[in-house]
Amino acid sequence: MDAEFVNTIGQLFTDSFAILRLLENGFNWFIIGIGIILLVIWVKKMADYNKEADQNGTLR
């Protein structure tokens, strides 16, 4: 492969991660927030499935 091509790809990755440095901890808090929201949705769904299983007399 051409060294210039490889250097261009490397620079592209380096520049893309520089965006994360600009966001600082905001990006981390965003990901944590999304995780918490998904966890709450998952727990709610599991509670709904358990309630349905109790009503139908099926396995939890």
- The arithmetic mean of pLDDT across residues 37-58, rounded, is 95
Can you give the pLDDT at residue 24? 85
Q: What are the tens digits of pLDDT across the range 13-36?
A: 998 888 888 888 988 999 999 999
Q: Which residues contact 20 (CB under 8 A, 6 or more apart)?
A: 27
- 3-state DSSP call for residue 56? helix
- The arithmetic mean of pLDDT across residues 24-49, rounded, is 95
Can you give the pLDDT at residue 1? 65
Q: Is the dihedral of CA 27, 31, 37, 40 positive or negative?
A: negative
Can you give the pLDDT at residue 22? 85
Average pLDDT, the chain: 91
